[in-house]
Amino acid sequence: MGIYPRIDIEEPFECEHGKKFHYVTHTIFGNKYYGGSRRSLLTGRKLLHGHGVYISRNGSVYHGDWGKGWFHGDGVVKYSNGDLYEGGLADSIRPGYPRPYGDGIKKYANGDQFDGYWYEGGASCYGIKKYANGDQFKGELYKDKKHGNGILKYVNGDQFEGKWYKGKMYGPGIKKYANGNQFEGEWHKGKIYGMGVYEFSDGDRCIGKWRKGKVIPDSVFCKSSDGTLYDDIRGFNNRSELNNI
């Protein structure tokens, strides 16, 4: 990372923890850095080194440690969109854009918060994400979307556990309802699609097929809690829950 010579400034820059830096150096990309530096033994050029504050031209601010010109260890990043990250960091291909790596907490401008482990350049992470509306997700995410295995607990008491793909339920899963009902089956693009089993809290049970979240009436086979068998949903109290999964 090429650094221009030191430029003195009239008033020192003060970081969050009260430490003041009396100089600023500019990168070739127009970003600003306040903090320690050292010269490369190979090129003789200045490298960011030690503690400092890096202000990207896009408005993001990194506050933390450097090692021979690279982001190093833990730090704090204030993104230009209002998000805030605190935790482990690693350098990226684009200078001035540190990526989360390791344990860290990210607070989003919309009120969401994620606490967990980051990897793959900060795109993937595993942990707990709390949403501003009260929902909570524990599992894998990719680019801030649920992706992989995970459990979503809704603020109303419902819960889904299963596979996710780009933020939507995809594949096998189980949805448990606050009223005690439960559905186990297959999802496709966030909707039930294929075979599934719906169990009611009163002991009734139905097996059938769903398409785009709606039950196919003639495919349903039900058994009531008293043992009575039904081969058509219309003869089984026409349970509306089967279309509201």
Say what the pLDDT of residue 158 is: 97
> Which pLDDT value is given to residue 180?
95
Residue 73's pLDDT band (boundaries 50, 70, 90)? confident
Give the pLDDT confidence of 104-149 residue by residue, as tens digits: 999 999 999 999 999 876 778 999 999 999 999 999 999 889 999 9
Flag whether pLDDT at 171 surpasses 90. Answer: yes
- Residue 192, phi-psi category: left (phi > 0), alpha (psi -120 to 50), beta (remainder): beta
Would you say the C-alpha torsion 230, 232, 237, 242 has a positive or negative sign? positive
- Phi then psi for residue 218, to 5 deg, are -70, -10
> Which has the higher per-residue pLDDT, 120 or 86?
86
For the cut 70, the answer to whether the pLDDT of residue 49 exceeds it is yes
Residue ranges of the domains in the chain? 1-94
Measured between alpha carbons, how far is 168 from 159 in angstroms, rounded to an integer? 14
Mean pLDDT of 81-107: 81
**For the range 90-94, what are the long-range contacts, defined as Cβ-Cβ under 8 Å and sequence gap of 24 or more?**
90/121, 90/122, 92/121, 92/122
Asked whether the predicted pLDDT for residue 200 surpasses 50, the reply is: yes
